[in-house]
A and B are shown apart, each in its own frame.
Chain A
Amino acid sequence: MNAWTGKVIRVNLTSGTITKEPLDMKAARAFIGARGLAAKMLFDEVDPNIDALSPENKLFFAAGPLTGTFAPNVGRYDVVCKSPLTGAIAASNSGGSFGPELKYAGYDMVIFEGKAPTPVYLWIKNDQVELRDASAIWGKEVPETTDMLRAETDEDAKVACIGPAGERLSLIASVMNEMGRAAGRSGVGAVMGSKNLKGIAVVGTGAVTVGNKEAFDLAAKDASAKIKAHPVGGAGLKAFGTDVLVNILNSVGSLPTRNFNDGYFPTADKTGGEALAANNLLRPRGCHSCIIECGRATKVTNPKFAGEGEGPEYESAWGFGADCGIDNLDAIIKANYLCNDLGLDTISTATTIACAMDLYENGIITLKDTGGIPLNFGNAEVMVEMVKLMGYRQGFGDKMADGSYRLADAYGHPEYSMSCKKQEMPAYDPRGVQGIGLHYATSNRGGCHVRGYTIAVEVLGNPVKMDQHTIDGKPELVITFQNLTAALDSTGACLFATFGIGGDELAALLSGATGIQYTTADFMEAGDRIWNLERMWNLTAGLSSNDDVLPERLLKEPIKSGASKGEVSRLNEMLPVYYTLRGWDGNGVPLPEKLQSLGLA
């Protein structure tokens, strides 16, 4: 066995039993690992119609075959389960060293079933795997939890855990690893909380082997050279982080502003990567095996928002910034730190605050509802305060802790929620960038940018440039990116590796590592297979083409200012083309011949 360790830990939290199983190699070959393979197992094992927060849901921590190998930028793992936020399949991806450490301990994945009667954590040290009491740790924030788990296990253990938000079943709670890295989206932290599972500590001293060393070495050298030679992968992300996008998106008029009321924020420059590098950056940081180093070690000295930690990424800086009408970078960074400590997803937290501000400014909620807190756009102090209240479900924060859709819907105005499938959209306005809107609407986990990052082509011009405002060719572009990303995520590679390499290089790495030949076509087909499997699961869960939509605001209210003034999303023109090209019927259901061709029939 190479690349894959071939072993899976299955933990039944209800009974407290731990078993080790061999990896299903036929499935591994077809679905690769991480996101894809865990999705396949969820598909086989979990009824899509269960309550996501019930013991019937299962929680997969899954690394990919490349995770832990000596290839560049392959340090990732996925947390997969049914999402309590969307009702769809969740797969939240995180970096750091947790995924590789799991592999070095000898496992491709850990599956949690049932619900522990009292709080527990899982301690993995190579062959030794045990559930331990976490009663004393329950209630602690992420950094303290991490320290305590290390004190009880091994000082060098890699720790993934939830904070107060996950314990309180906030539908936007994240799973955090190594304090600053997040499997952020879709409420995977709430599923962990619902199982009384506080954390996982892992130490591994074994190896991840490769099947064809010569081929792997060549592929790894090639990938490394290409990423280093690329101006973005090789230098740009290290210097400015992802937050450099603030000025780019603002300049093309597609920086969603004040809950997507506009696409241009005049003072956005104060919150961009340039300002971050000049004022707050201590040094860049990298995940295990990373040669890009987009992570930000930052510090805020302003006493009102003082702190030190990781972040923000572009999406977080945008969410707490332009989307809330705020240009105070210190406050934005502080909000990011709080999300990390409390275990909240930054995108959903920020945009839920933006939604609350929108509801407040339009008189739908009042001081009576908010407990006297004036939720005006632009109020940085209030924004930071709301993050704390959400993490602990205190006061009005309780209503906000389940995301913008539940909040707006509770007041009879779901249209104020800027979400797809009830998950908040990130930092690219679909009115200004047409392809990304089609991706948001069709993404299997709801509003999300990292599963079909068409921005690379539509705005950045990488590897080619397409006009952001046209819809021509966009359905094809979205499908290609969705398939490529599904396969890439499943290897354990980082999406940013694509600033340098593509399907050819990834297929070569996968072939060398596993010793099984994947052509580029095989690799892309695996992505298509994973995408369709996720789709099938969602359809059985009760989702339909009625959920492949964008908020009405984006279809009907044009952007008011900036370079994309006057634009609306033309989703409804693109969607039927997308369905046809996907091999789906008019209702977005995969046709039998499509499923047959992918081996999913």
Chain B
Amino acid sequence: MSKVLMIHPERCTGCNTCVLACAYTREGEARPSASRVHVYNWEREQFSVPMMCQQCDDAPCVAVCPTGAMHRADGTIVVEYDVAKCIRCRMCVQACPFGNATYDMVTNKILKCDTCAGAPECVAACPNQALEFVDATVATRSRKKSFAKKFKEAFQEVG
């Protein structure tokens, strides 16, 4: 599997549907604090950014995990979490530079996006395509292309 979660903040409306989808489908209840994705809102600017694990290649959470609970299977992109091996030392929580691994007191485990085994619920629920699950190699193609288009237009105007 070589797909990654792609965030498009410019499309995000701040509706939290992804948050509810994650918490509800994974933990069985509408509890945003149990979500692996969180949406941060800037109310003055009316701008929102969803945040979740980016599945770092050289992942600090994996590096610090003393038991191998945070691990990556060979040849995959996703950093997986094995609750059975976890000793709740929360080193991963401290190590993640993005704050995308959190400890949940209610379920006594680490919450970190695992892309729902390749079928992320947040992506399915997002009404605005602000979250996409795309091939890692083409993830930024559309973004590059849209900027390239702006270049093209600018040059055409000058010409």
Residues on A close to B: CB < 8 A? 68-70, 72, 97, 104, 143, 146, 178-180, 205-210, 213, 228, 238, 282-293, 295, 297-298, 308-310
Contact = CB atoms under 8 A, between A and B. Distances in A.
A143 B44 contact: yes
Contact of B15 (A68, A282, A293): A293
Contacts of B16: 97, 288-289
Contact of A285 (B33, B34, B46): B46
B24 A283 contact: no
B46 A309 contact: yes
B20 A289 contact: yes
Contacts of B44: 143, 179, 308-309
Contacts of B24: 70
- The 7 lowest CB-CB distance pairs between A and B, nearest first, are A297-B46, A286-B15, A207-B31, A286-B13, A205-B33, A207-B29, A291-B127
B13 A178 contact: no
Nearest to A294: B13
B46 A69 contact: no
Interface of B: 10-11, 13-17, 20-21, 23-24, 28-34, 41, 43-47, 127-128
A290 B17 contact: yes
Given A70-B24, A178-B43, A308-B45, A295 B31 contact: no
A334 to B, nearest CB: 15
A285 B34 CA distance: 24
Nearest to B27: A207
Given A284-B13, A289-B16, A290-B17, A179 B30 contact: no
Given A287-B15, A297-B47, 11 more contacts: A70-B20, A104-B33, A180-B43, A205-B33, A210-B29, A228-B127, A283-B11, A286-B14, A292-B127, A293-B15, A293-B128
Contacts of A206: 31, 33
Contact of A104 (B17, B28, B32, B47): B32
A180 B46 CA distance: 9
A179 B128 CA distance: 23
A428 B65 CA distance: 63
Contacts of B47: 297
A451 to B, nearest CB: 25
A168 to B, nearest CB: 24
Nearest to A311: B46
A208 B30 contact: yes
B128 to A, nearest CB: 7
A165 to B, nearest CB: 19
A248 B110 CA distance: 52
Contacts, number: 87
Contact of B29 (A209, A287, A290, A308): A209
A179 B30 CA distance: 25
B20 A207 contact: no
Contacts of A289: 15-17, 20
A285 B14 contact: yes
Given A180-B43, A289-B20, A291-B127, A283 B30 contact: no
Nearest to A208: B30
A83 to B, nearest CB: 28
Nearest to B11: A283
Contacts of B31: 104, 205-208
A285 B45 CA distance: 11
A102 B31 CA distance: 12
22 contacts: A70-B30, A104-B32, A178-B43, A205-B31, A205-B32, A205-B33, A206-B31, A208-B29, A208-B30, A208-B31, A283-B13, A283-B46, A285-B46, A286-B14, A286-B17, A290-B17, A290-B127, A293-B128, A297-B45, A297-B46, A308-B45, A310-B46
Contacts of A285: 13-14, 46
Contacts of A146: 43
Nearest to B126: A291
Contacts of B33: 104, 205-206
A341 B43 CA distance: 12
Contacts of A291: 15, 17, 127
B71 to A, nearest CB: 28
A308 B21 CA distance: 31
Given A97-B16, A285-B46, A308-B45, A207 B21 contact: no
A298 B45 CA distance: 9
Contacts of A179: 43-44
Contacts of B29: 207-210
B22 to A, nearest CB: 10
Given A288-B16, A289-B17, A308-B44, A207 B30 contact: yes
Contacts of B46: 180, 282-283, 285, 297-298, 308-310
Contacts of A288: 15-16
B106 to A, nearest CB: 8
A210 B30 CA distance: 9
A48 to B, nearest CB: 37
Contacts of B45: 297, 308
Contacts of A213: 28
B36 to A, nearest CB: 15
A295 B47 CA distance: 12
A36 to B, nearest CB: 22
